[in-house]
A and B are shown apart, each in its own frame.
Chain A
């Protein structure tokens, strides 16, 4: 297996943590992992993009355009931005949430419809709604982690605390 994953969202959504959890899970299975993070300025409420490469022997830390097996988006508009990374047979996973960008107003359902009709295999996952149900928007990324772990055939990373485990299991149960 050699898998290129691009994880995106808006600064503050826990994109980095989600990537690290995935990496830990893959490492626990004996894979080599590279996670290219962004810090600092690029994180302040702006677009965040983290690359994860998993395989037997990985060198390059970043995924090239047209080279990702998976794009995981914690926010719908960011899914559009990371779209260019997808392979033609790649899979897009999108959280059912929109964070309004400065300036123009975007409608969540219209945006998701456009993505659904785009021809790429897409999963739309209500991570935000489930996280609120569980008590805090903070669990959004662990719900997503559960969902994509199921897709990727990875297990729960060891470092999750109790609330995040709950969220993880809810995410897993969605497929």
Chain B
């Protein structure tokens, strides 16, 4: 069967063809669709874990017992899983174990650009690098076989332009899942120091062997006296650049980059142009093999962002000494305005931010943010620091302790379970006076709406068990919520921590549900007579369906409004009027 598949879908189908039995992940762009695709297959164990570490542990454990298992995550997710990752090479595995990571060059949807191939080097785990969805399919399938042959975990590094690229892919039927049974072997699986020392010796020997096996994944094409060594998505740009520059070159494409096979030194004649996406991981290894390189290290290709045909053609042209004139982009007749990502119209987080702003007026809080949709609160001036999953409570506590600030830590429900539970224990332990706001929309929404643990474990059960004063609000009920949040603010002002849980499901999920049920979604319109151009709705609330007309009055785009009614609660002049009915809609939304 030939399908137009995303790279991530191809990875899933390749794993199915290899008989994957256990698949786990925590959602994160650009890795999410691997598990989303596998979710359809009910004869396997497929699970969205609380975070990447727990996901890794589930699959690693299954592979120790001989099952074929995979774990998928985005590049920064591997940091969370890095503890078990480093032990995995020491014990090895019994069943095939594939660790899929998706890097995000240019940070389309991430806080940093990290190249996960470094982890392969550091943890002694070989890294496969597919260049397109067809190869992603094949390498996922082969990766299981390789892992099982070596009895060693195998990493597969994708990047945005492999994971989120569609191409025609020929797929086979899924193979039946391969489960396993655990066989005890204390010397191998219990990494107490005496055992671990033995394992490290064995690991180093195995690494040599892996380096030889990596040679089998070298492909060379073309002829000439220029050698271009490349891997992954970069290969595609090299192919087209060589064609465009009309030069004769040998393209050496590596399927396994970590460890870089020694055999490359026999193929290339002392010197090579190196083209790779991310950091110079390949280039440094080539240098250590005695090859002199022209690549990122000496400035032939940019050290950050993603490659394209132009950047690659320009670099190769310079390295080889041929002319290249890139196409001249035309200039638009008008400068386009910036259009940053914003909270969706009707997003419950929009109302929560408004409520928090009003309830903390005069306190000049530090807004300690986190990773998820609510980081878009940055557009409302309500995110002052965002660094990683769980940073809101963790860093927020530090900021509180340092400067007697009033800190509001905003965190989504999925992120709360992913990364904030241990931090809560510290908050309780030192009674740190911080206002923690769990923005519970019942989904991991930024990545498309995967289930979050809040669907079976409400956050207040945890915060109350820890003895934290907890208040639950419904953010579309703006005025009432403000009064409740003020109580929590008082507690924090008196030197104690408090928690607010703002609960209303993601509006996108609610819209989907209403459409399925055939329920009309109401809208609001502005009565221009009543609007006094006060700006409260477009300046403070910032619903993206509302704009400021040239005369200062508000305008609601009817195609964007989803009838949450928050603007109507906020407007002091009653200028928003409802079109349609909203009771049934609000109820469906609440149950979404």
A residues near B (Cβ < 8 Å) are 10-12, 20, 23-24, 27, 32-47, 58-62, 64-67, 77-78, 80-81, 83-88, 99-106, 111, 114-115, 117-118, 120, 128, 137
CB-defined A-B contacts under 8 Å, sample of 25: A27-B4, A33-B167, A35-B4, A35-B165, A36-B161, A40-B108, A44-B373, A45-B342, A59-B236, A59-B240, A60-B240, A62-B308, A64-B308, A66-B329, A67-B327, A80-B332, A80-B336, A84-B329, A84-B332, A99-B557, A100-B555, A105-B549, A111-B334, A115-B334, A118-B332
**Which residues from chain A contact B166 at a C-beta distance below 8 Å?**
20, 23, 33-35, 37
A-B pair count, CB < 8 Å, reads 172
Is B467 engaged at the interface, CB distance under 8 Å to the other chain? Answer: no
Q: How distant is A136 from chain B, measured CB to nearest CB, in Å?
A: 9
Is B326 engaged at the interface, CB distance under 8 Å to the other chain? Answer: yes
- Check B29 against A41 for contact (C-beta < 8 Å): yes
Interface residues of B in 442-487 (CB under 8 A from A): 446-448
Q: How distant is B177 from chain A, measured CB to nearest CB, in Å?
A: 28
Is B32 engaged at the interface, CB distance under 8 Å to the other chain? Answer: yes
- Check A100 against B547 for contact (C-beta < 8 Å): yes
Closest to B306 in A: A62
Q: How distant is A86 from chain B, measured CB to nearest CB, in Å?
A: 6
Q: How distant is B539 from chain A, measured CB to nearest CB, in Å?
A: 10
A39 CA / B338 CA spacing, docked (Å): 19
**Which residues from chain A contact B168 at a C-beta distance below 8 Å?**
27, 32-33
**Which residues from chain A contact B132 at a C-beta distance below 8 Å?**
34, 59, 61
**Which residues from chain B contact A39 at a C-beta distance below 8 Å?**
29-30, 32, 109, 164, 447-448
A85 CA / B559 CA spacing, docked (Å): 28
Is B309 engaged at the interface, CB distance under 8 Å to the other chain? Answer: yes
Given contacts A36-B164, A85-B329, 14 further A-B contacts (CB under 8 A): A23-B166, A34-B165, A39-B447, A41-B29, A41-B108, A43-B341, A44-B376, A64-B326, A66-B330, A77-B339, A106-B337, A111-B334, A115-B333, A118-B332
A47 CA / B32 CA spacing, docked (Å): 21
- Check B343 against A45 for contact (C-beta < 8 Å): yes
Closest to A12 in B: B344
Given contacts A62-B308, A80-B336, A100-B557, contact A44 B342 (CB under 8 A): yes
B residues near A (Cβ < 8 Å) are 2, 4, 6, 29-30, 32, 108-109, 132, 161, 164-168, 233, 235-237, 239-240, 308-310, 326-345, 373, 376, 379, 446-448, 542, 544, 547-550, 555, 557, 559-560
**Which residues from chain B contact A105 at a C-beta distance below 8 Å?**
547-550
Given contacts A35-B166, A36-B165, A60-B236, contact A44 B341 (CB under 8 A): yes
- Check B336 against A81 for contact (C-beta < 8 Å): yes
**Which residues from chain B contact A45 at a C-beta distance below 8 Å?**
339, 341-345, 544
- Check A41 against B344 for contact (C-beta < 8 Å): no
- Check A137 against B559 for contact (C-beta < 8 Å): yes
A19 CA / B358 CA spacing, docked (Å): 43
**Which residues from chain A contact B339 at a C-beta distance below 8 Å?**
10, 45-47, 77-78, 81, 101-102
Q: How distant is A61 from chain B, measured CB to nearest CB, in Å?
A: 4
Given contacts A33-B4, A46-B340, contact A102 B379 (CB under 8 A): yes
Closest to A57 in B: B239
Interface centre among A35, A78, A102 (most CB of B within 10 A): A102
- Check B337 against A104 for contact (C-beta < 8 Å): yes
A23 CA / B169 CA spacing, docked (Å): 13
Closest to A83 in B: B332
A58 CA / B161 CA spacing, docked (Å): 14
Closest to B447 in A: A40
Q: How distant is A49 from chain B, measured CB to nearest CB, in Å?
A: 10
Q: How distant is A134 from chain B, measured CB to nearest CB, in Å?
A: 14
- Residue of B32, B309, B340 near A60 (CB, 8 A) is B309
- Residue of B338, B447, B542 near A101 (CB, 8 A) is B338
Q: Give 5 closest A-B pairs by Cβ, nearest first.
A: A40-B29, A66-B327, A40-B109, A46-B341, A83-B332
Closest to A62 in B: B308
A103 CA / B548 CA spacing, docked (Å): 7
Interface centre among B168, B233, B331, B448 (most CB of A within 10 A): B168
Q: How distant is A66 from chain B, measured CB to nearest CB, in Å?
A: 3
Q: How distant is A171 from chain B, measured CB to nearest CB, in Å?
A: 18
**Which residues from chain B contact A23 at a C-beta distance below 8 Å?**
4, 166
A67 CA / B326 CA spacing, docked (Å): 10
Closest to A137 in B: B559
- Residue of B109, B233, B235, B544 near A42 (CB, 8 A) is B109
- Check B4 against A24 for contact (C-beta < 8 Å): yes
A139 CA / B166 CA spacing, docked (Å): 23
A42 CA / B448 CA spacing, docked (Å): 12
Interface centre among A32, A59, A87, A120 (most CB of B within 10 A): A59
- Residue of B240, B326, B337 near A77 (CB, 8 A) is B337
- Check B344 against A44 for contact (C-beta < 8 Å): yes
- Check B446 against A64 for contact (C-beta < 8 Å): no
- Check A64 against B333 for contact (C-beta < 8 Å): no
- Residue of B29, B109, B239, B560 near A99 (CB, 8 A) is B560
Closest to A42 in B: B108
- Check A118 against B333 for contact (C-beta < 8 Å): yes
Q: How distant is B330 from chain A, measured CB to nearest CB, in Å?
A: 6
**Which residues from chain A contact B109 at a C-beta distance below 8 Å?**
39-42
Q: How distant is A104 from chain B, measured CB to nearest CB, in Å?
A: 6
Given contacts A23-B4, A24-B4, contact A41 B327 (CB under 8 A): no
A146 CA / B280 CA spacing, docked (Å): 45
- Check B334 against A80 for contact (C-beta < 8 Å): yes
- Check A66 against B328 for contact (C-beta < 8 Å): yes
- Check A120 against B4 for contact (C-beta < 8 Å): no
**Which residues from chain B contact A40 at a C-beta distance below 8 Å?**
29-30, 32, 108-109, 446-447
Interface centre among B109, B331, B333, B547 (most CB of A within 10 A): B333
A40 CA / B30 CA spacing, docked (Å): 8
**Which residues from chain A contact B337 at a C-beta distance below 8 Å?**
77, 101, 103-104, 106
**Which residues from chain B contact A67 at a C-beta distance below 8 Å?**
309, 327
**Which residues from chain A contact B342 at a C-beta distance below 8 Å?**
44-46, 102
A36 CA / B168 CA spacing, docked (Å): 13
**Which residues from chain A contact B376 at a C-beta distance below 8 Å?**
44
Interface centre among A64, A87, A99, A137 (most CB of B within 10 A): A64
